[in-house]
Amino acid sequence: MSTVTSEEFLLDGKSFVTKTDKTSATVVRTATGKNLTQTEKEVAGSYYNAALDEIDYAKIYNLDYGSNFLSKLGASDQWMGTALTDPIYKDVFKKATGKSSPNISFADVIDPNSRWQSTPLNTSANNKSTSGGGGKFVGRYPLNKDRKKFDFLQVTAKEYKPSSFSGVDGMTQDAEDRKMASVGSVYLPMQPGLSDASSVSWNEGTLNAIDAAMANISGSAVKGASEGLSQATKGLAGASKDAMKTLFGPGGIGSDEVAAYFAEQATGKNVFTRTTGKVMNPNLELLFSGPGLRSFNYNYQFTPRESREAKEIRSIIKFFKKQMAPKRKGKLFLESPNVFKLKYIFKNGDQHPFLNKIKLCALTTFNVQYTPDGSYMTYDDGSMTSYTCNLSFQELNPIYAEDIEMSSNDMGF
């Protein structure tokens, strides 16, 4: 049987073909999409064909695509590791060595004897239908044909509901407690680099002896004011007496130093140190000033393998753009964009027990790169061969101590 060469396809920005005979196939790196680098040539050694300017990367010796179907030729160890573990690579190889090429053409696979079958009805990672019943958008990438249970990121858009004046805690209520309605969800694969970073603000604060004495006097006056003018006067007199005793008593400061201090306050010049040769002990301390808000960043590369998957990716991109956009309310006002609930789902369908939980978030940045592989290439229906999306989320509310339950069987926030 003669060797059949597939049409070229892209993997991570590099162009390949497969050359298939009766029982095996060779994955060949070509220079069409991106030139072969010197490093690739050196790693390939004798597997580099200078006349054709191509490299025999790997050998598919098992066209049934069982375990370890691929053996190394001139590819790097890193590429081999990805090719053997990433299901997208296997699917691309199946299409390339089967009836049609995965790139350039989306020809339907109708041959029942073909090794590659087109994707079945879109389901979630746990085999629950995501066909979009009830009018809510449901998108998923990738559209896998296997139905193995696996972990995934669920991103649900919710119609933003602002705080209200009702109730004691209306204006301080967490966004999570406002019962926002879901408007759609997207299911995405897990990716490397998952992390969370918590922060709180602490700032330096000072309070010297004279400031402390003045604060003591002011505090006593305010406290006494709530009990009437007579009590306020009495409190002010008592506090002033105690403050003066502290300032001028043993170990305290002299009247000349107090005068120099107030002269410095009045002039803005360093009178105190100039006239006394001293500085006031500032009693420096780091003081809590408020919580911080966490951010979560994700980078996804979407590589459609068939026409339906290309349309699904397009819908997912449009979904994020629409949900993060403000809404016009007449000509005078803009309503807040919708917000997002991010949840790491374990294969049993629940919150992942060893990954952090995330409060409601705003999508602050959404960037789409339509030619991430460095060249312009489309399928026959116009779909890009690859898209890269960068998403930046920020939580609407900070994390408080009471949000983290030490006895729970999850990672908490």
Given pLDDT bands bounded at 50, 70 and 90, which one contains residue 244? low
Total structural domains within the chain: 3
Is 354 in the same domain as 386? yes
Is 192 in the same domain as 302? yes
What's the rounded Cα separation, in Å, for the pair 337 and 323?
Answer: 6
Is 365 in the same domain as 312? yes
Given pLDDT bands bounded at 50, 70 and 90, which one contains residue 348? low
Is the model's pLDDT at 105 over the cut of 60? no
Is 305 in the same domain as 383? yes
Q: Residue 237's domain spans which residues? A: 207-283
Which pLDDT value is given to residue 147? 46
Q: Are 364 and 387 spatial neighbours (Cβ–Cβ below 8 Å)?
A: no
Is 229 in the same domain as 87? no
Section 173-185 average pLDDT: 90
Is the model's pLDDT at 232 over the cut of 50? no
Is the model's pLDDT at 183 over the cut of 60? yes
Which pLDDT value is given to residue 148? 55
Is 219 in the same domain as 297? no
Is 140 in the same domain as 248? no
Would you report the helix, strand and coil content of the chain in percent, each value rounded to 5?
30, 25, 45
Range with the poorest average pLDDT among 154-163, 254-263, 403-412: 254-263
Section 190-213 average pLDDT: 88
What's the rounded Cα separation, in Å, for the pair 323 and 158?
Answer: 9
Query: Where a domain ends, among 80, 97, 114?
Result: 97
Which pLDDT value is given to residue 95? 85
122 located within any domain: no
Burial class (CB in 10 A: 0-12, 13-18, 19+), 410: middle
Is the model's pLDDT at 401 over the cut of 80? yes
Is the model's pLDDT at 387 over the cut of 70? yes
Structure tokens at 274: 């100039």
Q: Which residue has the higher pLDDT, 230 or 161?
A: 161
Mean residue pLDDT of the chain comes to: 80
337 located within any domain: yes
119 located within any domain: no
Query: Where a domain ends, among 283, 303, 338?
Result: 283
How much of the chain exceeds pLDDT 90, in percent? 44
Which one, of 377, 380, 308, lies nearest residue 15 by Cα?
Answer: 377
Give the H or E element holding residue 141. Answer: none
Q: Which residue has the higher pLDDT, 105 or 49?
A: 49
User: What tens digit of pLDDT does each residue of 71-95 get?
Assistant: 999 999 888 888 888 888 888 888 8
Which pLDDT value is given to residue 182? 93
Query: Where a domain ends, among 283, 305, 334?
Result: 283
CB atoms within 10 A of CB 262: 12
Residue 14, φ and ψ in degrees, nearest 5: -105, 140
What's the rounded Cα separation, in Å, for the pair 140 and 316?
Answer: 8
Q: If you count them, how many residues does the chain have?
A: 413
Is 44 in the same domain as 187? no
125 located within any domain: no
Section 306-317 average pLDDT: 93
Tell me which DSSP letter residue 381 carries: T
The one-letter code for the residue type at 339 is V
253 located within any domain: yes
Is the model's pLDDT at 269 over the cut of 90? no
Range with the poorest average pLDDT among 243-252, 314-323, 328-337, 372-381: 243-252
Is 246 in the same domain as 383? no
How much of the chain exceeds pLDDT 70, in percent? 74
Is 154 in the same domain as 271? no
Is 370 in the same domain as 388? yes
368 located within any domain: yes
Is 373 in the same domain as 265? no
Section 261-266 average pLDDT: 69
Which pLDDT value is given to residue 305? 86
